[in-house]
Structure 1
Amino acid sequence: MAKTTGPPQSVVKDIPTLGVEEEFLLCDPVTKQPRFRNTEVAAAGRDLGVDLQLELTRCQVETATTVGHHVRDLRDQLWELRVAAADAAARAGCQLLAVGTPFYDPPPHETTHTSRYQRMAGEFGALTAGVMCGCHVHVGVEGRKQAVRIINHLRPWLPTLLSLTANSPISAGVDTGYASWRYIQYGRWPSCGPPPYFESLNHYDTAIETMLEAGVILDPHMVYWDVRVSDHLPTVEIRISDVPATVGETITYATLVHALVVTVMREIAAGCPAPIIDQEVLRAACWRAARDGVAGRALDMDPVRLVPTRQLVRRLLDYVTPMLAEFGELERVTASLETVFDEGNGAMVQRRTLTRSGITDVIDECARRTAGGCDRQTDTALSSS
């Protein structure tokens, strides 16, 4: 994330900071195959005054907001970054897509030409050929000890966050059977998945030291847990989400995460213990979320049973309602979630379009939804209502 330019004028007192990173796929606008031109797209971005960061594979770029104290501080940025990234991609002969995975698998050996990424390719082989685009939300913390406590409290909510944002059902031109194929693919990395329950900050650090010793990671930045303590920022980083299909969905997701983390912080301050969820139960719940997304069923972990995913989404909304009301965002988020229930999220729209008119139309629809359309008007109307 970039450095903050100063606190906004309208903030809720003592609310921690917020920042959002989004990863995007580059594809050929004609063949629809992944296009390996991220350095050219980044150069075009610099000409437009936007900093597009390179990712592991050459068909990806990433945007990052500045630091805000409220989602209102980031809303316009998120729109502008997507529009600028799409413009930069077009100038470099690419189409920008907000999708969790490519529609066609890229060939191997297309790792971005940086020393760190090349070293990763040497150490982890074919794992680095996978292309996965996520959305990472950073929330400011007072220290690493607090961040680890927050992670423990967030663990039960991770599957619900994934269900909401699932946006990668198609691979090799066909439906994979998973709403988030990205999450399934990402799970091949040995440092991915839901984090364990940590007894202390020392427990967290020992786990990372063990991974370093085993060669599971090359550096702390390769800790790819669904939520982690940032290794370079004073934040807790929630990483479980696919990149949402529309910026309106990203705004809603970031708002929910911000409200969730602040709610958890207040519970910690009040002395409330984190629920201890069995790791295998949590992994099963995350798998189910990746499989069904928001359209199917989810694993309720207390008691362990399958329920409609919408039931757990509504439980999350109820849990953070007081904080959303304090933010002044309750009406907007509630309306946005109802729209997702009625019209579908990224995975659902992709599947409908694939059934109706085929893969080429899926990709063109994803490109349209990535950088604009009616969603901005809808979000603006909701935010001003």
Structure 2
Amino acid sequence: MSTLSANPIGAAGAGTAGSTPTIGVEEEFVLADPGTGAPFLGNTAVAAAARRCGAELQLELSRCQIETATPVCTTLTDLGNQLRRTRAQVAAAASAVGVAVLATGVPPFGPPPTSITALPRYQRRIEHFGLLGEQVICGCHVHVGLDDRDLAVQVSNHLRPWLPVLLALTANSPVFAGRDTGYASWRHVLWSRWPSAGPPPYFRSAQHYDTVVADMLDNEVILDTAMVYWDVRLSAHLPTLEVRVSDVPATVEETVLLAALVRALVTTALGAVHSGQQAPVLDPALLRAAYWRAARDGVNGYALDTGSGHLISAREATARLVDHVRPALERTGDYRTVRCAVECVLGAGNGAVRQRRILRAGSRADLLHMLTCTTTDTCASAEELGRDTADRS
């Protein structure tokens, strides 16, 4: 995880009903040749270019990936501004070494050759898991401040039914190796092969959580706690609950929408826990099927309702999510913003819809151009970043 601020991401916690937790976001990006779209195996050069401008980027498993992180945020406006800044910083650093940065869940024109970043923990991972580790997938991780671990695992239980809806809403990886995969989120399909990935188990307590993680370590299902890849997990080094079900969204606005919904889900769950409501214990097969449907259909098509086990439209599933968290959104003054953002995504399509639309109507070059533009569409230019850095120095 990168640190773009002196403040750790999501550090301020919340544990009382009605309180508003802080939020922070990490985003992973594909580095690509701006002419061909081929993955560019040079994340160390991009990170070095960013460092010269005063920004810190995190190296990921593949050398064609880079990661950013916002500082702690309290409002959606602040988060949006920070995301625009971090995306502009990574784009400026990539441009300095002649590279494009793409907000997409998988390389659209891959797969890359062997491309593991030369860090000991990554090399050890490849030795243990083989070719499984040579995938390139880019996600978005939302940290919500929550410093009570027993409370956090109860919140995690309440979040489980809604995770497929978040995946569908932010799906942004339909194209791989120049072809439509048939899935809105091919990243999820690749990611689900890891033995520690997917929805978190239903936990009785933080001690139960720690016991499960310890067993995974003993059995070498994971090699360290950073390999707890559940879509909701307790941060190993921060007082946060981390939700990591999403592809990296196509735009800043879609990332803000994701973060708003995640925080509202956490706040709603906190209220349920404090009022004594038990989270539903879902059939694992049903939840897995709901994930598959979300990854396949995205916002166009169907969703599997985890309560009834019946198919409903993806739009109806999204509407139910917004209704579920509406009181939390209204308390923070974010309901109107979220409702408009959801209407925009459902009307114009999310990243997966736009990628498919361009690929069918245009060419690979058109898709590459679109991805390059939407990644930083509302972000500051390199010149503006320079002026801002000078103003703060």
Q: Distance in 1 between matches of 2:52 and 2:18?
A: 37
Match of 1:188 in 2: 193
Cα deviation 1:120-145 (Å, max 9, x = unaligned): 11111111110000000001113211
Q: Partner of 1:379 in structure 2?
A: none
Q: Deviations over 1:251-277 (max 9, x none)?
A: 111111111111111111111111111
2:7 pairs with 1:4:
yes
Structure 1 equivalent of residue 126 of structure 2: 121
Query: Hey, what's the Cα distance between the residues in 1 that align with 2:189 and 2:274?
Result: 35
Cα deviation for residue 374 of structure 1 reads 9.8
Change (3 A) 1:236 1:3: farther
Deviation at 1:202, TM superposition (A): 2.3
**Equivalence for 2:388:** none
1:208 — aligned with what?
Answer: 213
Corresponding position of 1:68? 73
Gaps of 5+ in 1: 377-385
In structure 2, do the counterparts of structure 1 residues 107 and 352 end up closer, same or farther at CA, with 3 Å as the change threshold? closer
Q: Identify the match of residue 249 of structure 2 among 244, 253, 276.
A: 244
8 Å contact 1:248–1:375 — kept in the other structure?
no
Q: Describe the superposition over 1:13-62 as per-residue Cα deviations: whole angstroms up to 9, x where unpaired.
A: 83222110000000001121000110110111112222111111000110
**1:246/1:375 contact within 8 Å kept:** no
Any residues of structure 2 matched to 1:96-107 within 5 Å, and which? 96-107=101-112
1:40-119 alignment to 2 at 5 Å?
Answer: 40-119=45-124
Compared CA separation, residues 375 and 268, structure 1 to 2 (3 A):
farther
Alpha-carbon shift at residue 365 of structure 1 (Å): 0.2
Q: Distance in 2 between matches of 1:66 and 1:33?
A: 31
1:18 paired to 2:14:
no
AA partner of residue 286 (structure 2): V
Task: Choose 153-162 or 135-144, whichever is displaced more.
Answer: 135-144
Task: Indicate yes or no: 2:139 matched with 1:134.
Answer: yes
Q: Quick check: 1:220 aligned with 2:225?
A: yes
Secondary structure at 2:48's aligned position in 1? helix
Question: What whole-Å deviation, never above 9, does each CA across 1:202-257 have from its counterpart, x for those lacking one?
Answer: 22112111211111100111000111111111111000000000001111111111
SS in 1 for 2:310: strand
SS in 1 for 2:305: strand
Q: Distance in 2 between matches of 1:374 and 1:15?
A: 27
Q: Work out which of the residue numbers 289, 297, 305 in structure 2 matches 1:300.
A: 305
Q: Secondary structure at the match of 1:225?
A: coil
- Identity across aligned pairs (percent)? 51
**CA distance in 2 between partners of 1:13 and 1:163 (Å):** 28
AA in 2 matched with 1:266:
G
1:270 and 1:13 map into 2 onto residues whose CA distance is 12
Greater shift in the superposed pair: 68-77 or 263-272: 68-77
How far apart in 2 are the matches of 1:116 and 1:143? Answer: 29
Return the match for 1:155 from 157, 160, 168: 160
- Contact 1:148-1:201 within 8 A present in 2 as well: yes
| More deviation, 109-118/336-345 | 109-118
Q: Which residue of 2 aligns with 1:331?
A: 336
RMSD across aligned positions (CA): 1.9
Give how far 1:198 is off.
1.3
- The 4+ residue runs of structure 1 with deviation greater than 4 A are 373-376
- What amino acid sits opposite 2:7 in the alignment? T
Q: State the shift of 1:3 in Å.
A: 4.4
Structure 2 gap ranges (5+): 382-393
TM-score normalised by L of structure 2: 0.91
1:86 aligned partner, one-letter code: A
Q: TM-score, normalised by structure 1?
A: 0.93
Match of 1:318 in 2: 323
CA distance in 1, matches of 2:216, 2:235: 16
Cα separation, 1, equivalents of 2:348 and 2:114: 39
Instruction: Give a deviation string over 1:344-365, Cα, whole Å, max 9, x none.
Output: 0000000000110022211210
Q: What secondary structure does 1:304 align onto? A: coil
Query: d(CA) in 1 for partners of 2:259 and 2:54?
Result: 24
Moved more, 236-245 or 267-276: 267-276
Cα distance, 1:109 vs structure 2: 2.8
For 1:13 and 1:73, locate their aligned partners in 2 and report how far apart those are by CA, in whole Å: 21
Q: Are residue 255 (structure 1) and residue 260 (structure 2) matched?
A: yes
Instruction: Give the equivalent residue in structure 1 for 2:384.
Output: none
SS in 2 for 1:167: coil
Other-structure match for 2:371: 366
SS in 2 for 1:51: coil
